[in-house]
Amino acid sequence: MENILSEIQALRNSLHQHNYNYYILDEPTISDYDFDVLLQRLQTLESQYPEYYDANSPTQRVGGGVTKNFETKKHRYPMYSLSNTYSKEEVLQWQERLVKILEHDQISFSCELKFDGASINLTYENGKLVQALTRGDGIEGDDVTTNIKTIGTIPLRLQGDYPDFFEIRGEIILPWDGFHQMNEAREAAGEPLYRNPRNTASGSLKLQDSSLVAQRPLRCFLYSLAGENLGVQSQFDALGKARQWGFKVPDSARLLGTVEEVFEFIAHWETARKNLPYEIDGIVIKVNDLQQQELLGFTAKAPRWAIAYKFKAENIVTQLLGVQYQVGRTGAITPVAQLEAVEISGTTVKRASLHNADQIEKLDLRIKDWVYVEKGGEIIPKITGVDPERRGRLEDRVTFVDHCPDCSSPLERLEGEAQHYCSNSSGCPTQIIGRIQHFIGRKAMDIEGLGGETVALLYHAGLIRSVADLYALRPEQLLPLERMAEKSVTNLIEGVKQSKEKPFAKVLFGLGIRFVGETVAKRLAKQFGSIAALAQADFETLIQTEDIGDRIAKSVMDWFLLAANQELIQELKAQGLQLENAVQAEATVPQILENKKVVVSGVFEHFSREGIKEKIETLGGQIVSGVSSKTDLIVAGEGMGPSKKQKAEKLGIQILDETAFLALLKE
C-alpha cells in the first residue's frame, strides 16, 4: 500500500509539473501521448484506491463532476468594476485628480491589457485551489470550482513561497484559434455558431457537465491579488509574485512613470492588439503603489486608483430598413433600428438601438438611409451617424410613434425626460408581463421553477395580472396549460411559496419602482425598515437618505400614490411576503456609531476586514472608503498607510486602534 501511495504522489507531482511546463511556460518537455499515458495510470490507481482521493489531483482536469445548481456565495472582497473612458483627455484628467488627492506628482502606473472574457475570483489555501467564484454582481458570485479545475492554465497546486491564504483575480478567455475551432465543429454539425469569444467563455463557466468545459480551449490570465499580509507593496510586485507561484500572468504589463509613457503604451496596443492571439478591449491603468491605492479608495462601483482606456469600437456602414418600437416594463418606448445584416467584430448585426425620439430627430433619419453602426462595449450596437452622400427620400422620414405599439394608448413624455412612456401602466400587457418578469428575476425574488416565458403564458391564459396573483395560483389551473407537466407545476408552486421568505429589500426591488435599483432598494429597506414606513415617508425624509436624490424620492412617492399599488401591497402582505426587515439581534445593539462615517484601514488581529466593517455597521456606523473632511472616525489596524494617517491627523479625525475599538465594543 505504501508503494501505491508513493506512486500516486509521484504521478501527481510529475503531472502538475508537465502541466505547468505546457500551460504556463509554453515549453512542454514530453509529448501529449506520454502525458496521457501518465494521466491514465493515475486515473486507474485513483479509481482502485479511492481512499487516496485528492480534490486537486491533476485528474480533476478531465472533468466529469456535474453541477446542477451553481451555489451563490458572498465574495470576501467585493469585485468592483472599472471606470472606463474612450478619451485620452479623461485619462489625463484622472491623473491630475490623483496628483491632487495624493499631493504627490510622482505616481507610477501598472499598465495592463484588458482581457475580454469572464472575470473569476480564485481562493487558495495552503497552496491549493479551494474555490472559484464568478463575479456575479460583485458582491456575490456563483461557485464554479468544479468547472474551473478543468482549465489548464489555472494551477491546482502552487509553487514557491505563496501566502497561506489569499485570493487572486483574473479573466477566463477563449483565444481566437480555440474559438474558431469550436465554431468549425459546430458548423460541421450544422449547429448555430458562437457569436464571440467573450460570451462563449462566460457561458462555458456555467455548463453543468465539467467534462464539456474540459474540452473547451479556455485560458485564464491573472491580474490582481486580494488578501492580507501578502508581502507585496505594489501592483507590479503582485503580478511578479503571482507568476512565481505558478500563475499565468502575461508579460505585456509595464510599469510606467509618466502619462506620456502611458499614452505610448496605449498607442502601441491600439494596433498591436490585432496580432494578439486573443481579444482585448482596452488598457487598464492602475496606480502601482498599494499605499496610494488605499488612500484613494473606491467609489460605490469602482476603484479610484484604476481606469480602463477602451479602444474605440469598430464602425461600419449599412442600410436602415425600418424602425420598430419596443415597450419596456416601465412603459418606456425604445425605438430599434432594423438593419441590412452586417458583420461587426465577428458578430452579425441586424438591429441597433436608437435610444429615443430626440436621437432620431437629431440624425434626421429616413428609411433607406445608409447609417454608421458602432458596436462598443454594449451588447446592442448603436447608430452614430448617417452617410450624407446616401440619403433616403424626404417623405420616408422616421417619425416617432404617438401610440403604444402594444395597447394603443397615447404616449406621454415627462418634462425634462428624453423617453416616451405608454400611459396605460395598469392595462398595457407588455408592461404587466414585464413587471412580473422583473419581480421573479434573479436579482429580485429569484423564483425557481418559473421563467419569463411562463409568465407570459400565464398572463395570456388570464391567470395573473399582478405579482400578487402568482401567490394564488393553484395546480388545477396550471395543469391544463401547454407544456405544464405535473413536475413543472409542483416546482412552480413550490418556488413561488419559497419566495415568501425573500428579504424585504428583494421584494422592494422586485416591485419595480422606477429608479429603484438593487442598491437603492437595499438602502431604502435599511433606512425605513418596512414598506409601511416607506409609504409614509415625505419628500424631505426621503432625500435625507444617503444615495436618494429628488428624482428617486419623487418616483417612490408617486408609486405609493397609485391606488393599484396600495392594493398590491395589501395583497402581498396577506400572502405573507416579507414587507419589513427581519428582526435581528442587532436591533438591540446600542447604536453607538449612529450616522458616523467610518474609514477602516489596515489589518486586524480579531477581525477580517469584512468582519470589522459589518461590526461597525451593526453599531450604526456607515463605512466610507476615502479619508475626507466628512469622515468622523478611522478604525486602524496594523499597517495603515502613512499618507492616510497624515491626512487624518491634518484633518483632526479621531483614530481608534484595534484595542480601543474592542474597548468600545465592551462598553
Give the nearest distance from C-beta 276 to ligand AMP in angstroms: 13
- Least separation in angstroms between CB 247 and ligand AMP: 13
Contact 582, 501 (CB under 8 A): no
Nearest CB to ligand AMP, comparing residues 141 and 641:
141
Which residues does 152 contact at the CB level (< 8 Å), separation at least 6?
A: 19, 22, 23, 61, 219
| Residue 588 identity (one-letter amino acid) | T
C-beta separation of 219 from 173 below 8 A:
yes
Q: What is the DSSP string of 139-169?
A: SEEEB-HHHHTT-TTS-SB--SS--SEEEEE
Q: Which stretch binds ligand AMP (CB under 6 A): 114-122, 268-276, 291-299, 484-492?
A: 114-122
Among 407, 461, 463, 535, binds Zn ion (CB under 5 A): 407
Q: Please identify which residue in 35, 94, 109, 115 interacts with ligand AMP, judged by CB under 6 A.
A: 115
Residue 283 host element (H or E): strand 280-287
Our finding on whether 114 is near ligand AMP (CB under 6 A) is yes
Tell whether residue 318 is a contact of ligand AMP (CB under 6 A).
Answer: no
Integer Cα distance of 327 and 406 in angstroms: 7
One-letter amino acid for residue 107 of the chain: I
573 is catalytic: no
- The C-alpha atoms of residue 459 and residue 415 are separated, in whole angstroms, by 33
- Footprint of Zn ion on residues 386-405 (CB under 5 A)? 404
Binding mask 408-437 for Zn ion (x = CB under 5 A): --------------x-x---x---------
DSSP 303: B
Least separation in angstroms between residue 139's CB and ligand AMP is 13
How many Å apart are CA 613 and CA 362, to the nearest integer? 49
Please state the three-class secondary structure of 368-423 as a single string.
CCEEEEEECCCCCCEEEEECCCCCCCHHHECCCCCECCCCCCEEECCCCCCCEEEC
**Near ligand AMP by CB under 6 A, which window of 19-27, 79-87, 268-276, 403-411?**
79-87
- Active-site residue (options: 73, 74, 88, 114): 114
The smaller minimum CB distance to ligand AMP, of residues 166 and 604, is found at 166
By rule CB under 5 A, what count of residues binds Zn ion?
A: 6
Q: What is the DSSP letter of 192?
A: P
Residue 160 CB contacts under 8 Å (≥ 6 apart), including other chains = 244, 245, 246
**For residues 467-496, which are near ligand AMP according to CB under 6 A?**
none
Query: Which one of Zn ion, ligand AMP, none is in contact with 428 (Cβ closer than 5 to 8 A by kind)?
Result: Zn ion
The single residue among 20, 223, 278, 661 that binds ligand AMP, judged by CB under 6 A, is 223
Nearest approach, Cβ of 434 to Zn ion (angstroms)?
10
Backbone angles phi, psi at 186, to 5 degrees: -70, -40
Q: Which helix (H) or strand (E) holds 633?
A: strand 633-636
Nearer to ligand AMP, 454 or 625 (CB): 625
CA distance 2 to 535: 71
Q: Considering CB distances under 5 to 8 angstroms, the limit depending on partner class, which of Zn ion, ligand AMP, none binds residue 600?
A: none
Single residue of 29, 40, 47, 81 touching ligand AMP by CB under 6 A: 81
The helix/strand/coil state of 564 is helix
With binding defined as CB under 6 A, does residue 284 bind ligand AMP?
yes
- CA distances (Å), 27 to each of 17, 22, 23, 30, 487, in order? 11, 5, 8, 9, 53
x/- map, 239-278, ligand AMP, by CB under 6 A: ----------------------------------------
Q: Could you give the residue numbers annotated as active site? A: 114
Enumerate binding residues for Zn ion (CB under 5 A).
404, 406-407, 422, 424, 428
Write out the residues near ligand AMP by the rule CB under 6 A: 81-82, 84, 112, 114-115, 119, 135, 171, 223, 284, 308
